[in-house]
Structure 1
Amino acid sequence: MGRLLGVFRFRVLTVCFRFIRTVSYRERTQTMRVPSRSSGPQPSVASPAPARRSPGSARAVARVMPDLDAYRDAVTDLLVEVGALADATSTTARQVLLDQRLREPAIAAVLDATPQGFIGARETLLLEMARYQPNERSSAGDLTALVRIYLLSRIDVMWWRDAPTFLTDEQVNTHPDMVDLEWLRRRGMLAFRYQEQPATILGRGVRAVRRRLRPDATPRTAGVKFRRARREIIALLNDLAREFDRATPAGTPPLWVTSLVRSAEHQYQLRRLGYAAMVPSGHCLGWAVDVEMSWFTRFGARDVLAEILLARQAAGELNVVDEGQAWHLCLAPAARVRLRAAYEAEMGA
């Protein structure tokens, strides 16, 4: 009975949403073309096996970049419907909803352009939803947040689909494209702040005592495991930190970075601990970071930082994902050359 009720609710909601969106959606998507792996029909969702992309198809996607504004709008619409079917009795209705909505051209174009392809991305999302368990560590406070984080983070892996993944901690620590932030910090070359994860029991104890004595002195975050980053990311964070400093009153703390590059090894460890660590991830490619947001509310600066980040997204420089306490940022490939030049000019490299 609960399942039938869920399906009935879904059908009613579908009729309402389609009536509201019909005119605007047709105007927005009538000229769009969904990239596919062949000249045949669009990818079927019947097969459970993740599809692999051929080199020829990757070149085709590069020629026809999906409309990211349309994608984000379509994801926003989808989230409203997912939220209306969030209860446990609506599992079947949610799956029917996703089967339909993920096929929409604006969404399918991005998913099809990821390394997993449309089918693989869809199956991964369904698996994430099936395994989802809310907990204090996860940035996904509910099922709707999980879907939002997953779908918006697919822009990262679409942009950097040809970038190699850092599989192990050793690869992160020894890769020539990674720069040691501590070396730069000690020379006053960083405009942003971060803190490392304590490596020992003693270090964790000292951190805990400091938090008790001064609970709001720093963000409540575990810190970064790897104090390394790509040169372009360092230039981006310095640029954002300076803009943030100019836009906020004196006494406002600098931009605070909560997460940088991660290895796939570390990403899976975070997943085991209950964090909403998506795979594939822009963090494991070295092109994504997380910045603190909630802590800046006490300084009246959170909204200022949000405006700065969203303006960069509108300019095509970043992909921004609201993950609650921290926001996830991924650098767009189009901004790479400018930021590499900025790093070399600033650091004298």
Structure 2
Amino acid sequence: MRVPSRSPRSQPSPSVPYAAPARRRAPSRPPHLAAAAEPDLDAYRDAVADLLVEVNALAGAGSAKARQVLIDQRLREPAIAAVLDATAQGLVGARETLLLEMARYRPNARSSAIDLTALVRIYLLSRIDVMWWRDAATFRTDADVHHSPELVDLEWLRRRSLLRFRYTEQPRTIVGRGVRALRRRVLPDATPRTAGLLFRRARREVVALLNDVGREFAAAAPAGTGPLWVTSLVRSAEHQYRLRRLGYAAMVPSGHCLGWAVDVEMAWYRRFGARDALAELLLNRQRAGEINVVDEGQAWHVCLAPAATLRLRRAYEAEMGS
């Protein structure tokens, strides 16, 4: 199992255009992803890295027209077009969405897209996720996430010491938020600075992946390093739109809303001298074709590849006994 880019809460949405019927089980091997037809992802990532250099050079406020011309040209290059055309939106839809995201972009402290170049990187590299899982069903609402039989309760597993990673939940009350704020003031670096999970649920295959990475990281990191931390797991499309309204770089469609993507804390591990070790573990898994990774700064976005799901489902059943 094994790159990020080489480069540098409210009412339900009335309509989620990219959503498939809720609760439809995703095929373990999507039929459109036959090995012979799959785009060259190394070439795609290289082409995206080259594009980002040019986008960065045109980052000025007066370069909007030049950026649009650049995007029009570069997205039609074979290495990039092959991936975008294999998504449900297709090349044209992906282009229009990216241009709209760029036009609407405003930097803010909540967003992992610290600048326009980061926004383009996050969007384009996350398209690998939606290409892989374009036939998967979206969790449209919070209720879909809470009641889906495809997801397991992490707290049940944690209490039985069956998890090799950590997480925290979002405080649900004023008292809870106060306790969280006090703890951060008294012990500011004891845990990563994260809002926490709204949903403590995950696919079995994702649990197996995180347990594997957690074990490898514990063995590779310096003594005294904190355990693997997960800052985001499955999200509903409803919640994804909440995050967008709050200013987060929450892309749509998203692997999070399909249950196949997670965010893993990275920045916190610098204090242990362990960030590079975790990065290498994740990059190795990407090179092996098991995950897609997107560097989002404080956290890295990780999406499981369809080719790895069967082995990880078996690993979960062997480890958990079900």
Q: TM-score, normalised by structure 1?
A: 0.83
User: 2:263 maps to what in 1?
Assistant: 290
Count of paired positions: 294
2-structure distance, mates of 1:61, 1:85: 35
Q: Aligned to 2:136, which of 163, 166, 170?
A: 163
1-structure distance, mates of 2:63, 2:85: 27
Of structures 1 and 2, the one with the larger relative CO (CA 8 A, separation 6+) is 2
Instruction: Structure 1: state its 5+ residue gaps.
Output: 1-49, 52-57
Q: Aligned to 2:235, which of 242, 259, 262?
A: 262
Aligned with 1:191: secondary structure?
A: coil
1:136-164 per-residue CA deviation (whole Å, 9 max, x = no partner) reads 00000000000000000000000000000
Are 1:292 and 1:326, in contact at CA under 8 Å, matched by a contact in 2?
yes
Q: TM-score, normalised by structure 2?
A: 0.90
2-structure distance, mates of 1:226, 1:163: 19
1:252-297 per-residue CA deviation (whole Å, 9 max, x = no partner) reads 1110000000000000000000000000000000000000000000
Q: Aligned to 2:118, which of 137, 145, 149?
A: 145
Change (3 A) 1:79 1:244: same
Instruction: Structure 2: state its 5+ residue gaps.
Output: 1-16, 19-29
1:73-121 per-residue CA deviation (whole Å, 9 max, x = no partner) reads 0000000000000000111100000110000000000000001111111
1:49-74 per-residue CA deviation (whole Å, 9 max, x = no partner) reads x99xxxxxx96664511000000000
Are 1:165 and 1:284, in contact at CA under 8 Å, matched by a contact in 2?
yes
User: 1:17 maps to what in 2?
Assistant: none
2-structure distance, mates of 1:224, 1:314: 28
2-structure distance, mates of 1:337, 1:177: 14
2-structure distance, mates of 1:102, 1:120: 11
User: 1:330 maps to what in 2?
Assistant: 303
Shift of residue 250 of structure 1? 2.1
1:4-26 per-residue CA deviation (whole Å, 9 max, x = no partner) reads xxxxxxxxxxxxxxxxxxxxxxx
Q: Aligned to 2:100, which of 127, 136, 148?
A: 127
Shift of residue 249 of structure 1? 2.1
Q: Which moved more, 1:249-258 or 1:153-162?
A: 249-258
RMSD between aligned residues? 1.3
Are 1:319 and 1:329, in contact at CA under 8 Å, matched by a contact in 2?
yes
User: 2:8 maps to what in 1?
Assistant: none
Corresponding letter in the other structure for 2:196 = G
1-structure distance, mates of 2:192, 2:245: 23
Are 2:222 and 2:273, in contact at CA under 8 Å, matched by a contact in 1?
no
Q: Quick check: which one's helix share is greater?
A: 1
TM superposition outliers: structure 1 runs of 4+ over 2 Å: 58-63
1:174 aligns with 2:140: no
1:234 aligns with 2:234: no
TM alignment of 1:49-64, pairs within 5 A: 62=34, 64=37
Q: Aligned to 2:177, which of 204, 223, 227?
A: 204
Q: Could you say which structure has the larger radius of gyration? A: 1
- Identical residues among aligned pairs (%): 79
